[in-house]
Structure 1
Amino acid sequence: MEAITRNPATGIYPATPDYVHAMEVQGAGRLLFVSGTMGLADDGSAPSDLATQLELIWGNIGRILAEAGMTAANIVRVTSYLRDVAYVPANSQARLRALGAHRVPTTAIVVETLSPDWLVEVEVVAAA
């Protein structure tokens, strides 16, 4: 599989260092669509603080990817659903820690989650 970053140089606002405008995936034999994943512990409980929920989210996503024989390097798209716009910086930093130098198209949306205990929900698409 080949992932090609598509960031037009003109006619559009520039991508920032933490994401790309688009990713073209060629030769992928498998796609994995991961449901919105919450920062829940193994017992289903939601810690009260944002940092712990974000750590759990990316750990949970890592576990799901591993089940499919993939890693964060296979992620080609991230969408984050935040309960509060104030969560944007922490969410971005958690994503950057989880992905390392790997940059993908990403969107963050401020929403009311299904449970008020869920501060952030993240869904990803991965390809291999």
Structure 2
Amino acid sequence: MAEHVKHLAPQGVAPGNGYSHVVLGTGTFVAISGQIPVDEDGQLVGPGDAEAQAKQVFENLNRCLAAAGATFSDVVKLTFYVTDVAHLPAVRIARDAYIDVEHPPASSAVQVAALFRPDLLLEVEAFAVVNG
């Protein structure tokens, strides 16, 4: 866990399952645009396969964070946009390969009618705070 990021469990609020209700950070704010499951050439990875798409999305997030000098331990908020909540278990598996599951970021998950391309099953955006 990054020392400049603090996870809080507010009294009177049921514990989150796989997310923190409150995450504080001190440093430089980093916003990562919603990442979609395309490779470095812009080709879709895993057509119709939520697990393959989620893995690619988190690899793209990892690369974007690295470009900002950040890691997943610096992430304070994730937002998941899925075309079907049935994809969330696959998203969680991919997420858990990258985050500290003992100190997860704050998160929101939203089912949407569609994303900007009909072959996309999910999109994930991240907010991070980098020390310094």
TM-score by length of 1: 0.89
Counterpart AA for 2:41: D
Q: How does 1:1-128 map to 2 (within 5 A)?
A: 2-10=4-12, 12-16=13-17, 18-25=18-25, 27-28=26-27, 30-46=28-44, 47-48=46-47, 49-101=49-101, 102-111=103-112, 112-128=114-130
Paired residue secondary structure (2:19): coil
Q: Matches of 2:57 and 2:94 in 1, distance apart? A: 9
Kindly indicate whether the alpha-carbon contact (under 8 Å) linking 2:8 and 2:20 is maintained by their aligned counterparts in 1. yes
TM-score by length of 2: 0.87
**Aligned pairs, number:** 124
Counterpart AA for 2:22: A
Q: Matches of 1:39 and 1:114 in 2, distance apart? A: 12
Determine what percentage of the aligned residue pairs are the same residue: 30
Q: Which runs of 5+ in 2 are unaligned?
A: none
> What CA RMSD, in Å, does the superposition of the two structures yield over aligned residues?
1.4
Q: Matches of 2:61 and 2:16 in 1, distance apart? A: 25
Q: Which runs of 5+ in 1 are unaligned?
A: none
Kindly indicate whether the alpha-carbon contact (under 8 Å) linking 2:5 and 2:129 is maintained by their aligned counterparts in 1. no
Q: Matches of 1:19 and 1:59 in 2, distance apart? A: 20
Paired residue secondary structure (1:9): coil
Counterpart AA for 1:104: P
Cα drift, residue 2 of structure 1: 2.1
Counterpart AA for 1:8: P
Cα drift, residue 70 of structure 1: 1.2
Paired residue secondary structure (2:116): coil
Paired residue secondary structure (2:97): helix
